[in-house]
Every structure is written in structure tokens, then in C-alpha cells.
């Protein structure tokens, strides 16, 4: 899961970053509306935008308005001051999916993030299934035929992306974009290593990660 946080309160942003990274997300952070707008234009791999409305240089509502004018359906969770009812209403009218008034519980925010990303992927539960393979996005637990698989944080991230696009080709560049934060160096060779490790752990039944040479990977069910 890749999340962009647009928040100029560094203390709050630091808490959000720590909480969401601990939950397994790759999280990037900007502190102004113009930076948020630029990031959203140049990167279409974010799964969610957490948007403070009181941003400097470009108001959060304008960031949201521009995002929707480009046809993006990315889920947006807006953060507002507790007494800014008018801004909350405008945010929802401009296309926000949910809002939270400050101060708020990080635990509640994590739950809302999970709900919004499920909705963005067209799902209604925390669990993604592909044949006997299941992944609980909330608990970050993968199982095959009900038996838990021991996976590293990076392997879980790869599995989540492949499951979300099961049956479709996912390029190495897309994997890097979805899994890595700004400034994090992950080479294509490293992706190959992670894929190799993941294969050894999940290819025990009618599931395989097919390699399309020069293009990427595809999570497939093997006809039996």
C-alpha cells in the first residue's frame, strides 16, 4: 500500500508516518499544497491521499479539486480542525471520501485507511483471496489452505500488490512504485530476489508467480 500524506504539522505528520509504516504501508510526506499537487501529477501509484485542508501555498480543497478534475478516483481522507464544518462539507462535495476532525485517534485513522483502500480496490472485506491463498490486510497475515506463511514485511508488500492485480501483469517498475518511498533505493535485481523468496514460500499448491521475461510478473492459479 502506497500513501501520500499532505500535512504541514510536523508533529502530527511524524505520528502518522510512524503509525502507517508500522502497519506495513509505504508512506511519503509533503508539507504544502503545491508539493501535494505536484506529487499527485507525477505519481499515479498512490493508493490513498491523507490531506490536511489548511496547507500553505495551495489550500487543501484546491488540491482535491485539481485531483478530481484530472479524473482521479484515488480515495482521499481529509483532516480538518474540529470546528471547520463548512470546510468538511466542501471537501465531501469536492470528492473527498472521508474526513477526520483533529485531534483524532491513530487507531481510528488506521481503520479508516483500511476501509478506504478496500473501497478503492472494489473490496468490502479485509481479506483478499486467490484460490487457496488468502491475505488479511488488517492483520497482515497470509495463509494457504488456512496455514499461515511466514513472510517478511517486503514479501508481504509484494504479495499484496500481486494479489490486488491477480491474473494481470505487474511490471518491476510498478512494484517499485507501489512498495518504495521517495529516496528509498530498490533495484530491479532486489525485486527479483524478493520475488524468488516469495515464490519459495507460496508455490506449494495451485498458485504460481509467472515471470513474463522483460515485462514483469503475474500471480496465477494453475489449472488442475
Total domains in the fold of the chain: 2
For the chain, the C-alpha Rg in angstroms (whole number) is 18
Estimate the share of the chain in helix, then strand, then coil, as percent rounded to the nearest 5. 40, 25, 35
pLDDT, tens digit (0-9, with 9 covering 90-100), for 177-202: 888 777 777 787 888 999 999 999 99
CB atoms within 10 A of CB 10: 10
Q: Are residues 84 and 150 in the same domain?
A: no
The count of C-alpha atoms lying within 13 angstroms of the C-alpha of 218, restricted to the half-sphere facing its C-beta, is 12
Q: Are residues 106 and 160 in the same domain?
A: no
Q: What is the rounded distance in angstroms from the CA atom of residue 200 to the CA atom of residue 139?
A: 22
Q: Are residues 182 and 138 in the same domain?
A: yes
pLDDT, tens digit (0-9, with 9 covering 90-100), for 134-154: 988 777 889 998 899 999 888
Q: Are residues 99 and 36 in the same domain?
A: yes
Summary mean pLDDT of the chain: 88
Residue corresponding to grid cell 495463509: 143
Contact 116, 23 (CB under 8 A): no
Q: Are residues 186 and 85 in the same domain?
A: no
Residue 207 domain boundaries: 127-221
Domain's final residue, options 87, 120, 153: 120
Q: Are residues 149 and 78 in the same domain?
A: no
CATH of the domain at 186: 1.10.10.10
Amino acid at each position: 500500500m502506497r500513501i501520500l500524506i499532505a500535512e504541514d504539522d510536523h508533529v502530527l505528520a511524524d505520528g502518522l508516518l510512524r503509525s502507517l509504516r508500522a502497519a506495513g504501508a509505504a508512506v511519503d510526506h509533503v508539507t504544502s499544497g503545491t508539493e501535494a499537487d505536484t506529487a499527485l501529477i507525477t505519481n499515479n501509484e498512490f493508493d490513498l491521499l491523507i490531506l490536511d485542508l489548511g496547507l500553505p501555498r495551495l489550500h487543501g480543497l484546491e488540491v482535491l479539486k485539481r485531483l478530481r478534475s484530472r479524473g482521479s478516483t484515488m480515495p482521499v481522507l481529509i483532516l480538518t480542525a474540529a470546528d471547520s464544518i463548512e470546510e468538511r462539507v466542501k471537501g465531501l462535495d469536492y470528492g473527498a471520501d472521508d474526513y477526520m476532525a483533529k485531534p483524532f485517534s491513530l487507531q481510528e485513522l488506521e481503520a479508516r485507511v483500511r476501509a478506504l483502500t478496500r473501497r478503492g480496490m472494489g473490496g468490502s472485506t479485509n481479506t483478499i483471496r486467490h484460490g487457496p491463498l488468502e491475505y488479511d490486510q488488517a492483520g497482515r497475515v497470509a495463509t494457504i489452505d488456512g496455514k499461515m506463511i511466514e513472510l517478511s514485511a517486503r514479501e508481504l508488500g509484494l504479495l499484496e500488490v500481486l494479489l490486488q492485480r491477480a491474473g494481470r501483469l505487474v511490471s518491476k517498475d510498478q512494484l517499485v512504485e507501489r512498495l518504495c518511498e521517495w529516496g528509498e533505493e530498490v533495484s530491479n535485481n532486489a525485486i527479483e530476489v524478493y520475488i524468488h523468496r516469495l515464490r519459495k514460500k507460496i508455490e506449494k499448491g495451485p498458485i504460481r508467480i509467472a515471470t513474463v521475461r522483460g515485462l514483469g510478473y503475474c500471480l496465477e492459479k494453475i489449472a488442475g
